[in-house]
Amino acid sequence: MDAKDTTRVELTDFLDMKRAGRPITMLTAYDTPCARLADRAGVDAILVGDSLSNVVLGHRDTLPVTMEEMLHHTRAVSRGASRALVVADMPFGSYQISREEAVRNGVRFLKEAGAQAVKLEGAGPHVATVRALTEAGVPVVGHLGLTPQTAGMLGGYKLQGRTAEAARRIFDGALELEAAGAFLLVLELVPARLGALVSRRLRIPTIGIGAGAGTDGQVLVFHDLLGFEPDFQPRHLKRYAELGREIERALGAYCAEVRARSFPDEAHSFRMPDEEWAALEAALGPVGARPGEEA
Ligand code: KIV
């Protein structure tokens, strides 16, 4: 999509972009101002990732974030996204217990929070859940490779699909998710060759994060791409700004100016008409002036 195009991105546009060889852009966002910025920058899809848990809410990983928290932040993102498609991550525990509960929770994201699609992690037992959601009218994005909700079972946050056998499992899972009705597939932390192979063999588009240049699109975490955490530098991450350092510098400058009484200055203060001041002084007696006050 053209960044200047203001027409809403529809689900079917993603297939058209893949067919036309146009790379798809996706970014996470968790609140209205960031969604608005991503939308204005022209991203095709905004993911309200369950990375909300660790990126914004201060948890160690994605497991603690709840349905209610995901709904709350998805509503905020939906208010800021006038063009990009909004995808909400189904949090851990919201789709594993039963298919019925998964459909109920998926429907809530569309009905109550303004999302156009949901994302869930894994294949295997979740393939049937993807089918049930799709049949219920809830569009689904799949997620394979490193699946953070089960990172503990995968040996931690590390590259997946390095052996022929592990790569085959991801490949087969991708085909199963496509057959079950997923309309997009996120591939996280897999070798570039595997990312390209899956992308070539699937009809639906793939979105990579640490999956090389051969996927049909890319996704990054908003705060990571903007350098909110200067020391967070995994190999797959390219930082396009150093906002963490810049924000710290700005906040430090604000504290220093307040302490030095150089903020607020005349330009950031409001005047009171002299005659009103005189009337007040007449009522109260001389008030005296402190630094920065009008004499
Ligand atoms: O939650 C998230 O941010 C994600 C992306 C890393 C794809 O799932």
The residue whose C-alpha atom lies closest to atom 2 belonging to ligand 1 is 49
Per-residue pLDDT for 169 more than 60?
yes
Give Cα separations from 139 to 103, 110, 134 (angstroms). Answer: 11, 9, 5
Rounded CA-CA distance 214/136 in Å is 32
pLDDT digits (tens, 9 = 90+) for 171-201: 999 999 999 999 999 999 999 999 999 999 9
Average pLDDT over residues 28-42: 98
- For the question of whether the overall pTM of this predicted structure is more than 0.85, the answer is yes
pLDDT of residue 295: 58
Identify the structural domains of the chain with CATH numbers, from first to last.
11-225 (3.20.20.60), 242-295 (no CATH)
Query: Is the model's pLDDT at 288 over the cut of 90?
Result: no
Element (H, E) at 142: strand 140-145
Residue 101 has pLDDT above 70, yes or no: yes
Residue 81 clears pLDDT 80, i.e. is over it: yes
Distance (Å) from CA 10 to ligand 1 centroid: 21
Q: Is 218 in the pocket of ligand 1 (CB under 6 A)?
A: no
| pLDDT 10s digits, 197-210 | 999 999 999 999 99
Span 223-276, pLDDT tens digits: 999 999 989 999 999 999 999 999 999 999 999 999 999 999 999 999 999 999
Would residue 188 show up in a list of annotated catalytic residues for this protein? yes
**pLDDT tens, position by position, 106-159:** 999 999 999 999 999 999 999 999 999 999 999 999 999 999 999 989 988 999
Q: How far is the CA of 188 from the centre of ligand 1 (A)?
A: 8
50 lines ligand 1 (CB under 6 A): yes
Q: Among the residues of 30-161, which ranges form H helices?
A: 32-41, 67-80, 99-113, 127-135
Instruction: Please choose from 186, 190, 225, 237 the residue to mutate so as to test ligand 1's pocket, defined by most ligand atoms within 8 A of CB.
Output: 186
Q: Nearest C-alpha to atom 1 of ligand 1 is from which residue? A: 49
For residue 111, the CA-to-ligand 1 centroid distance in Å is: 22
First to last CA, the chain: 58
